[in-house]
A and B are shown apart, each in its own frame.
Chain A
Amino acid sequence: MVRLTSTRVFLILLFSAPLPTNAQTGNPYETDPRAIRAGGALFGARCAQCHGGDAKGITGPDLTLLWASGASDDRVFQTIQTGVSGSIMPSSAAPDLEIWAMVAYVKSISTVPEFDNDRGDAGRGEEIFSTTCTRCHSVNGAGGRLGPDLSRIATIRSRDMLIRSIRDPSASMAVGYRPVTVVTRDGERVRAVTKGEDAFSIQILDMRGRLQGYVKADVREVIREERSLMRQFGPDRLSDEELDDLLQYLSTLRGADSDRL
Chain B
Amino acid sequence: MICCNISAHYAGPIPIAFEIPIAVGGGYVMLLRKFALLRRLAAVIALLASSTLGPPQLVAQNVDTSIAPDAGVTYEDILQGLDDPTRWLTFSGDYSGQRHSPLSQITPENVHRLVPQFTFQTGTTTRGRGFETTPLVLDGVLYVTGSNNFAWAIDARTGRPFWEYRRDLPDDLTYGASAPVNRGFGMLGDRLFMVTLDAHLLALDRTTGSVLWEIELADYHVGYAATLAPLVIDGKVIVGNSGGEYPTRGFIDAYDPETGERIWRFYTIPGPGEPGSETWPQDGDNLARGGGATWMTGSYDPDLNLLYWGTGNPNPDYYDEDREGANLYSNSIVAIDADTGTLRWHYQFTPHDTHDWDANQIPVLADLMIESELRSVVMMANRNGFFYVLDRTTGELLLGKPFTDTTWAREIGPDGRPIILNDGSKGCLPEPWGGTNFMPPSFDPALGMFFVTARESCATFVPQEPELILGQNTSGGVIWIDRDQGYGALRAIDVLTGERMWEFRYPSPTMAGVMTTVSGLVFAGDHEGNFMAFDARTGENLWHYQTGSRIWGAAAMTHMLDDRQHVLIPSGTTLVAFALPEDSP
Residues of A near any B CB (own CB < 8 A) = 6-7, 10, 14, 37-38, 40-42, 44-46, 48-50, 52-54, 58-60, 87-90, 93, 175, 197-200
**Cα of A87 to Cα of B128 in the assembled complex, Å:** 10
- On chain B, the number of residues with a Cβ less than 8 Å from chain A's Cβ atoms is 40
B175 to chain A: which residues have CB within 8 Å? 46
Whether B472 sits at the interface, judged by CB under 8 Å, is: yes
Q: Are A52 and B505 in contact (CB under 8 A)?
A: no
**Cα of A58 to Cα of B175 in the assembled complex, Å:** 20
Using known A-B contacts A44-B478, A52-B481, A90-B127, determine if residue A198 contacts B528 with beta carbons closer than 8 Å: yes
Whether B172 sits at the interface, judged by CB under 8 Å, is: yes
A58 to chain B: which residues have CB within 8 Å? 481, 483
**Cα of A54 to Cα of B480 in the assembled complex, Å:** 6
Partner of B506, one of A53, A54, A93, A199: A199
Whether B245 sits at the interface, judged by CB under 8 Å, is: yes
A37 to chain B: which residues have CB within 8 Å? 464
Nearest-neighbour CB distance to chain A for B112, whole angstroms, equals 12
Nearest-neighbour CB distance to chain A for B322, whole angstroms, equals 16
Using known A-B contacts A52-B481, A53-B481, A93-B171, determine if residue A197 contacts B128 with beta carbons closer than 8 Å: no
Q: Are A44 and B481 in contact (CB under 8 A)?
A: no
Partner of B507, one of A6, A38, A41, A197: A197
Per DSSP, are chain B's interface residues mostly helix, strand or loop, or mixed? loop
Q: Are B479 and A200 in contact (CB under 8 A)?
A: no
B471 to chain A: which residues have CB within 8 Å? 7
Whether B517 sits at the interface, judged by CB under 8 Å, is: no
Whether B473 sits at the interface, judged by CB under 8 Å, is: yes
**Cα of A50 to Cα of B481 in the assembled complex, Å:** 12
**Cα of A89 to Cα of B550 in the assembled complex, Å:** 16
Q: Are A199 and B544 in contact (CB under 8 A)?
A: yes
Q: Are B481 and A198 in contact (CB under 8 A)?
A: no
Whether B208 sits at the interface, judged by CB under 8 Å, is: no
Nearest-neighbour CB distance to chain A for B546, whole angstroms, equals 7
Q: Are B469 and A88 in contact (CB under 8 A)?
A: no
Nearest-neighbour CB distance to chain B for A224, whole angstroms, equals 11
Using known A-B contacts A93-B171, A197-B507, A199-B506, determine if residue A53 contacts B479 with beta carbons closer than 8 Å: yes
Q: Are A44 and B544 in contact (CB under 8 A)?
A: no
Nearest-neighbour CB distance to chain B for A179, whole angstroms, equals 15
Q: Which residue of B lies closest to A200 (CB)?
A: B544
**Cα of A38 to Cα of B544 in the assembled complex, Å:** 44
Nearest-neighbour CB distance to chain A for B439, whole angstroms, equals 16
Partner of A44, one of B171, B477, B532, B550: B477
Q: Which residue of A lies closest to B505 (CB)?
A: A199
Whether B529 sits at the interface, judged by CB under 8 Å, is: yes
Nearest-neighbour CB distance to chain B for A108, whole angstroms, equals 13
A89 to chain B: which residues have CB within 8 Å? 127
B480 to chain A: which residues have CB within 8 Å? 53-54
A-facing mask of B514-552, CB < 8 A → 1, else 0?
000000000000101110100000000100101000100
Nearest-neighbour CB distance to chain B for A7, whole angstroms, equals 7
Q: Which residue of B lies closest to A47 (CB)?
A: B128
Using known A-B contacts A45-B473, A53-B481, determine if residue A59 contacts B128 with beta carbons closer than 8 Å: yes
Using known A-B contacts A93-B171, A93-B172, A199-B506, determine if residue A49 contacts B544 with beta carbons closer than 8 Å: no
**Cα of A204 to Cα of B125 in the assembled complex, Å:** 29
Which residues of B from 451 to 475 have beta carbons under 8 Å from A?
Answer: 464, 466-467, 469-473, 475
Q: Are A199 and B472 in contact (CB under 8 A)?
A: no
**Cα of A53 to Cα of B126 in the assembled complex, Å:** 20
A48 to chain B: which residues have CB within 8 Å? 478-479
**Cα of A49 to Cα of B433 in the assembled complex, Å:** 10
Q: Are B479 and A49 in contact (CB under 8 A)?
A: no
Give the interface centre of B125, B171, B245 by most chain A CB atoms within 10 Å. B125
Which residues of B from 222 to 249 have beta carbons under 8 Å from A?
Answer: 245
Nearest-neighbour CB distance to chain B for A65, whole angstroms, equals 16
**Cα of A88 to Cα of B526 in the assembled complex, Å:** 19
Q: Are B469 and A10 in contact (CB under 8 A)?
A: yes
Q: Are B473 and A88 in contact (CB under 8 A)?
A: no
Using known A-B contacts A58-B483, A199-B530, A200-B530, determine if residue A7 contacts B126 with beta carbons closer than 8 Å: no
Whether B178 sits at the interface, judged by CB under 8 Å, is: yes
**Cα of A37 to Cα of B466 in the assembled complex, Å:** 11
Nearest-neighbour CB distance to chain B for A140, whole angstroms, equals 30
B541 to chain A: which residues have CB within 8 Å? 199-200
Q: Are A7 and B481 in contact (CB under 8 A)?
A: no
Which residues of B from 327 to 373 have beta carbons under 8 Å from A?
Answer: none
Q: Are A199 and B473 in contact (CB under 8 A)?
A: no
Which residues of B from 102 to 144 have beta carbons under 8 Å from A?
Answer: 125-129
Nearest-neighbour CB distance to chain B for A39, whole angstroms, equals 11
Partner of A41, one of B128, B464, B479: B464
Q: Are A198 and B479 in contact (CB under 8 A)?
A: no
A38 to chain B: which residues have CB within 8 Å? 467
Nearest-neighbour CB distance to chain A for B224, whole angstroms, equals 16
**Cα of A18 to Cα of B128 in the assembled complex, Å:** 33
Give the interface centre of B128, B179, B532 by most chain A CB atoms within 10 Å. B128
Which residues of B from 174 to 222 have beta carbons under 8 Å from A?
Answer: 175, 178-179
Q: Which residue of A lies closest to B529 (CB)?
A: A198
Known: A40-B478, A198-B528, A199-B541. 10 other contacts (CB 8 A): A7-B472, A44-B479, A45-B472, A50-B128, A52-B481, A53-B479, A197-B507, A198-B506, A199-B530, A200-B530
Nearest-neighbour CB distance to chain B for A201, whole angstroms, equals 8
Q: Are A49 and B475 in contact (CB under 8 A)?
A: no
A40 to chain B: which residues have CB within 8 Å? 478
Give the interface centre of B126, B483, B541, B550 by most chain A CB atoms within 10 Å. B483
Partner of A199, one of B477, B481, B528: B528
B127 to chain A: which residues have CB within 8 Å? 88-90
**Cα of A222 to Cα of B526 in the assembled complex, Å:** 20
**Cα of A226 to Cα of B202 in the assembled complex, Å:** 56
Nearest-neighbour CB distance to chain B for A4, whole angstroms, equals 14
B467 to chain A: which residues have CB within 8 Å? 10, 14, 38, 41
Q: Which residue of B lies closest to A57 (CB)?
A: B483
A7 to chain B: which residues have CB within 8 Å? 469, 471-472
A88 to chain B: which residues have CB within 8 Å? 125-128
A45 to chain B: which residues have CB within 8 Å? 245, 472-473, 475
**Cα of A43 to Cα of B373 in the assembled complex, Å:** 52
A54 to chain B: which residues have CB within 8 Å? 480
Nearest-neighbour CB distance to chain A for B293, whole angstroms, equals 15
Nearest-neighbour CB distance to chain A for B102, whole angstroms, equals 28
Q: Which residue of B lies closest to A173 (CB)?
A: B484
A90 to chain B: which residues have CB within 8 Å? 125, 127
Nearest-neighbour CB distance to chain B for A175, whole angstroms, equals 8
> Would you list 21 pairs from A and B whose C-beta atoms are within 8 A, ordered by A residue?
A6-B470, A7-B469, A10-B469, A14-B467, A38-B467, A41-B467, A45-B245, A49-B128, A53-B479, A53-B480, A58-B481, A58-B483, A59-B550, A88-B128, A90-B125, A175-B483, A198-B546, A199-B528, A199-B544, A200-B530, A200-B544
B473 to chain A: which residues have CB within 8 Å? 41-42, 44-46
B481 to chain A: which residues have CB within 8 Å? 52-53, 58
B126 to chain A: which residues have CB within 8 Å? 88
Partner of B478, one of A10, A53, A199, A200: A53
Q: Are A198 and B507 in contact (CB under 8 A)?
A: yes
Q: Which residue of A lies closest to B475 (CB)?
A: A45
B475 to chain A: which residues have CB within 8 Å? 41, 44-45
Q: Which residue of B lies closest to A202 (CB)?
A: B507
Q: Are B526 and A198 in contact (CB under 8 A)?
A: yes
Which 3 residue pairs of A and B lie closest in terms of their CB atoms, listed nearest first?
A198-B528, A45-B473, A50-B128
Q: Which residue of B lies closest to A88 (CB)?
A: B125
